[in-house]
Structure 1
């Protein structure tokens, strides 16, 4: 049975169990219970998964909202876009060093500028606006093209939904939005691993 690792922030936490259900016939799908937060935290988390859970055939991950977030009292992103891209590059190297296939998922779009609490239990406030998302996604997609990494374009998918499938906090998604992402993600994983 092929093994799949799903990593990322609270958006991933909304679709991971759905992907596991959709792939349960042929794949073992693993994901940590912890929120992957920003890219350097997900990099650490990824390393722990390889160390403690063994090998995987494919690693699918998303980051972005935390990286671009200037949480008060900071007035700059946790990871400016250049740092974000550098960390994504390290993730690709780590995944490939473990003989797994990397798949990067873009950050979902923002319907209107705002902020919301994340679900980490530490009361982190995530600010968001679509111009930031577009900037970070653009830089990430250039890297993924250069590195020949498959991109799961969640941004484009969510643009098709009413209010981009955003729930009341305008950061996380509705159940319908998470289900749409899960279906697209599971289909992509099947196509790569078959």
Structure 2
């Protein structure tokens, strides 16, 4: 049985590169001027969502105002703690959300890997039971907004990833799929979409992140799912 890492411990062990909140990603956090004539979209997620945010905005330019939370969404329990603040007072039309890659990550303070990732000797950030509890709470809160909700599946864990086990993302995606079906929430299967071109779009061998072209590819699918909602 895996040792479970206190979520605060996961946050402390994560590298700044892994957070994807440096200057090179500042455009993702530069939210647009709100045009009352256009629907307001909120993107919630970790570094993967940070990577595709700018291109989602470009693809929906003139059709929707695309905002994102002001930070890396990290793990689901972090989302539970911060969701009220992120949602604010704005009337959201569509909320596209994901948690998962942080939750399935094993970390070890002694590891020399980036972010102290270590799937052999590290501690798991969130068990399936803890993840389900957090996602249940998140969905309950998001439903209160009356926005159209789109759950975005967690993207693939490639072979040789230092802190995550191949297939765990599928298991955790299954947990939220059950919740989404129960509540009638739309599902954006970004996992399957990424798999179609994974060797071409992954940043490097064993890395869960993507190239610039890869993020543009993901953004196309995200924008397509959002466009389908606002066109109805």
TM-score bucket (shorter structure): 0.7 to 0.9
Given candidates 137, 143, 166, the residue that maps to 1:96 is 143
Q: TM-score, normalised by structure 1?
A: 0.86
CA positional deviation for 1:162: 4.1
Q: Deviations over 1:47-89 (max 9, x none)?
A: 21222x5221111011111111121158442211122122112
Partners in 1 of 2:198 and 2:104 — Cα distance? 24
CA contact (8 A) 1:81 1:136 kept: yes
Residue number in structure 2 paired with 1:182: 219
Given candidates 100, 118, 121, the residue that maps to 1:64 is 100
Residue number in structure 1 paired with 2:41: 4
Given candidates 14, 17, 38, the residue that maps to 2:54 is 17
Partners in 2 of 1:193 and 1:45 — Cα distance? 26
Given candidates 130, 151, 155, the residue that maps to 2:191 is 155
Partners in 2 of 1:162 and 1:149 — Cα distance? 26
CA contact (8 A) 1:158 1:164 kept: no
Residue number in structure 2 paired with 1:170: 207
Q: Per residue, is there more strand in 1 or in 2? A: 1
Query: Which piece of structure 1 moves more, 176-185 or 163-172?
Result: 163-172
CA contact (8 A) 1:3 1:30 kept: yes
Partners in 2 of 1:137 and 1:113 — Cα distance? 20
Q: Flag structure 2 segments of 5+ consecutive residues without an equivalent.
A: 1-37, 110-120
Partners in 1 of 2:157 and 2:199 — Cα distance? 9
* Structure label with greater radius of gyration: 2
CA contact (8 A) 1:111 1:164 kept: no
Structure 1's consecutive aligned runs of 4 or more residues displaced over 3 angstroms after TM superposition are 73-76
Q: TM-score, normalised by structure 2?
A: 0.73
Residue number in structure 2 paired with 1:123: none
